[in-house]
């Protein structure tokens, strides 16, 4: 057995608990456990992998296997975890029916923001949450609706099953003979005996809630060590065709169900969802490459540093760069710069530390954020991906559904660079109620002629999590509360109000996922006021609830020096991230989430500001000098 094969065997043994269920959009099948840390926390320079002891007084805050938080009271019918019902006690409208009638396919293209504005959102989302899948001890593989779309025997009896029936007027799936779409309920605190039988159940997230690049480094020490090279502070990569790639996973057919051959690439990454779509995988590789680029530079600058020191410092810098990009470049597009300033999420032109860490604030993720507000941006997905050459000429266009869970596209010719350039050059869909067929008819279709419906799944997941209703969240956000369907015309189009009236018996029943997505945008934002309220509060908590947030200088043992911090502020950008970590990318627009234009032209990569890594150079300690003489 070769050294690589030996390491893969070891890695696969370590990562058995990260096994994924390929039929579900973003869930983990391993059973979570109630989190408990017995040891006292000590201050360390570096983050833990699992987020523990970020908050010294509350060491479990932000750790995996913890429940989502609620902004409003959960909406379960029995007050515990049973499926929500309408206000009159009847059933809520079918989620596939809602998708067909409201979230229709209509190509409305963005005139300012590119496809990376949509795709980077998945990086942010995956960094902060991952909904827990079914407990294998209860059911090895719950199938409520089989691969052919037929209702399975356990559909009406198993507590985890809540399939989506195909409506009789579904002119796409009915002719195929499909009866349902599979849906399996999230593992909650009740399922793992963390709450009493009559206590409110809460769905679980199985990754850290901190913005800590856990999708790159893993969510515990075992996973982190398994994807490290073990020297030079580097992440593990292998060389093919002259370029470095993340290592191959040991179970290609299971981890990348879309592959046509076991010879195709399928990468071992810090997050189980990393191979889900080619653009997502490309960004994962960009982040791995960035870590290794920084590690190589630090190794040269500080030859006396050992592997661990180089790795942790590179990790620390990469996380800071990503936090800066997220808050000062990406989120301002979605939430509006002035809205973020007013809520104290960002401090533009600030040259000192921003000491806003609050140990009384948890960075835990709200289910209203994870299951509704941030998922709205699925509407910006494009069904066809443009691969773009360095001359910004279309090389080819591929269908998204042909490449779900099949990252081989990246290693076909210049596929990796062409996809990365495509993200920055192709326009996104608008943030609106119109959705692409590729994700409402062909989601994860594999070898089948059709697939799932992401919008229907989003709405169904919101009910699974007992989300408060649209009206309840407007009240929570101190927004005007509609009493009748007619009142909704103040917030959304009269056409959509009419559709809601035809689908829902009462205004009190409108799902948050649905109502929030139909609101007219708030000033400066790409969402309406209800989702904006949720998102601003969530990203404020993620910032001020993180002791290690890169702008914090209260604790000098973990803070960057001011020159280092300001170099990150001035040099970290999406454009630089893409330039530095593509294979042959030499031109990029400065604002890399924005389409190329006369105001945002292409420039040479070496003209872009960069983080000055020499600021991390340390003089060799005297004892080290003596040792080498």
Positions at the binding site for heme b: 378
DSSP 556-602: TTTSPPHHHHHHHHHH--HHHHHHHHSSS--EEESSTTB---SSS-E
d(CA 514, CA 462): 10
Cα distances (Å, whole numbers) of residue 27 to 22, 155, 203, 364, 413:
9, 19, 12, 18, 32
Between the CA atoms of 560, 565, 567 and 573, what dihedral angle is there, to the nearest 10 degrees?
110
223 is catalytic: no
Cα angle for residues 72, 75, 80 (degrees, 5° grid):
110
Backbone angles phi, psi at 398, to 5 degrees: -120, 155
Could you tell me which of 270, 301, 302, 273 has the C-alpha nearest to residue 287? 270
Question: Which of these is catalytic: 126, 173, 284, 376?
Answer: 126
CB atoms within 10 A of CB 41: 15
Query: Which residues neighbour 38 within 8 Å (Cβ) at sequence distance 6 or greater?
Result: none
Query: Which residues neighbour 521 within 8 Å (Cβ) at sequence distance 6 or greater?
Result: 431, 527, 528
d(CA 363, CA 208): 9
Q: Which residues of 352-376 are buried (b: 16+ CB within 10 A; e: fewer)?
A: ebbebbeeebbbbbbbbbbbbbbbb
CB atoms within 10 A of CB 242: 6
Query: Which residues neighbour 110 within 8 Å (Cβ) at sequence distance 6 or greater?
Result: 117, 380, 427, 428, 429, 430, 595
Chain centroid to CA 280: 10
Task: Give the tokens for residue 587.
Answer: 């031109």
Task: Give the tokens for residue 529.
Answer: 């006021």
d(CA 95, CA 371): 14
Could you tell me which of 135, 185, 160 has the C-alpha nearest to residue 33? 135
d(CA 177, CA 180): 9
Residues with a catalytic annotation lie at: 126
């Amino acid at each position: 057995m070769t050294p690589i094969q030996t390491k893969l065997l070891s890695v696969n043994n370590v990562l058995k608990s990260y096994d994924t269920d390929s039929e579900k959009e973003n869930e983990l099948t391993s059973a979570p456990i109630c989190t408990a840390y017995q040891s006292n926390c000590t201050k360390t320079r570096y983050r833990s992998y699992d987020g523990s002891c970020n908050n010294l007084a509350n060491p479990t805050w932000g750790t995996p296997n913890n429940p989502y938080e609620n902004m409003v009271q959960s909406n379960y019918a029995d007050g515990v975890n049973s499926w929500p019902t309408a206000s009159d006690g009847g059933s809520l409208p079918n989620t596939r029916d809602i998708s067909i009638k409201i979230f229709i396919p209509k190509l409305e293209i963005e005139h300012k923001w590119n496809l990376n504005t949509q795709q980077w959102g998945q990086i942010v989302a995956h960094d902060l949450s991952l909904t827990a899948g079914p407990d294998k001890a209860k059911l090895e593989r719950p199938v409520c609706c089989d691969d052919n779309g037929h209702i399975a025997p356990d559909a009406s009896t198993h507590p985890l099953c809540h399939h989506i029936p195909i409506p009789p007027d579904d002119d796409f799936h009915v002719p195929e003979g499909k009866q349902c779409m599979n849906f399996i309920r999230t593992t909650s605190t009740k399922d793992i005996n963390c709450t009493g039988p009559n206590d409110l159940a809460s769905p679980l997230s199985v990754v850290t809630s901190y913005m800590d690049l856990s999708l790159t480094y893993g969510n515990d020490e075992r996973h982190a060590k398994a994807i490290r090279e073990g020297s030079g502070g580097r992440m593990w990569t292998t060389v093919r065709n002259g370029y470095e790639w993340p290592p191959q996973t040991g179970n290609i057919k299971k981890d990348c169900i879309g592959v046509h051959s076991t010879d195709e690439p399928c990468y071992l990454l810090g997050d189980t969802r990393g191979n889900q779509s080619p653009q997502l995988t490309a960004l994962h590789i960009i982040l791995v490459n960035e870590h290794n680029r920084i590690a190589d530079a630090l190794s040269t600058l500080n030859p006396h540093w050992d592997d661990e020191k180089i790795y942790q410092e590179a990790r620390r810098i990469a996380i800071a760069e990503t936090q800066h990009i997220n808050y000062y470049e990406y989120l301002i597009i979605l939430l509006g710069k002035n809205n973020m300033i007013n809520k104290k999420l960002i401090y533009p032109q600030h040259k000192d530390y921003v000491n806003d860490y609050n140990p009384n604030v948890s960075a835990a993720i709200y289910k209203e954020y994870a299951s509704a507000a941030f998922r709205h941006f699925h509407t910006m997905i494009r069904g066809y991906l443009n691969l773009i050459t360095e001359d910004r000429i279309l090389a080819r266009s591929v269908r998204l559904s042909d490449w779900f869970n099949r990252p081989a596209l990246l290693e076909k010719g210049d596929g990796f660079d062409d996809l990365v350039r495509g993200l920055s050059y192709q326009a996104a869909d608008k943030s609106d109620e119109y959705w692409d067929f590729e994700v409402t008819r062909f989601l994860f279709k594999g070898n089948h002629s059709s697939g799932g419906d992401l919008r229907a799944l989003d709405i169904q997941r919101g009910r699974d999590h007992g989300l408060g209703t649209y009206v309840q969240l407007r009240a929570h956000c101190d927004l005007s509360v509609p009493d009748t369907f007619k009142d909704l015309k103040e917030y959304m189009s009269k056409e959509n109000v009419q559709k809601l009236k035809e689908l829902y018996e009462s205004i009190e029943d409108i799902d948050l996922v649905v109502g929030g997505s139909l609101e007219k945008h708030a000033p400066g934002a790409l969402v309406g006021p209800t989702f904006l309220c949720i998102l601003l509060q969530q990203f404020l908590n993620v910032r001020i609830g993180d002791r290690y947030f890169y702008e914090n200088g209260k604790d000098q043992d973990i803070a960057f020096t001011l020159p280092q911090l300001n170099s990150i502020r001035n040099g970290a950008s999406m454009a630089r991230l893409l330039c530095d970590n593509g294979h042959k990318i030499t031109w990029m627009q400065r604002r890399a989430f924005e389409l190329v234009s006369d105001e945002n032209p292409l420039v040479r990569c070496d003209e872009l500001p960069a983080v000055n890594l020499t600021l991390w150079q340390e003089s060799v300690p005297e004892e080290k000098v003596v040792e080498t003489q």
